[in-house]
Amino acid sequence: MSWFAATKPEVAPLSADEIVFSNFNFTGQPDVPEAEESFLHAVEAARKIADSGIVGNPAVKRFNVSVSGHANPGNVPAEGWVNDCVSISISQASDL
């Protein structure tokens, strides 16, 4: 089912090492295991991207992150429902 998660305001922005499950507010319909699994993989992918240095100056390494997606039961397309998808947004944070 559809879901969205963003870094908790009280801990944002995050370093790459802080991009972990517990630092996100999760909303949506996590009523199928596939939704939770896709969320966990999206968070792991976001951590790897942030740690790679391809988003902003590697010396700064503070990020705002959001992830969203949709997962059907069994990861199988279903008539009347969107197909499975995952989106990851990472932006470099600054003190400016």
Q: What is the pLDDT of residues 26-78, one digit of tens each?
A: 888 766 788 889 999 999 999 999 888 888 766 667 899 999 999 988 888 88
Q: Which residues, at least 6 apart from 9, have a Cβ–Cβ distance to it below 8 Å?
A: none
Burial of 76 (0-12, 13-18, 19+ CB in 10 A): exposed
Beta bridge partners of 85: 70
pTM here?
0.85
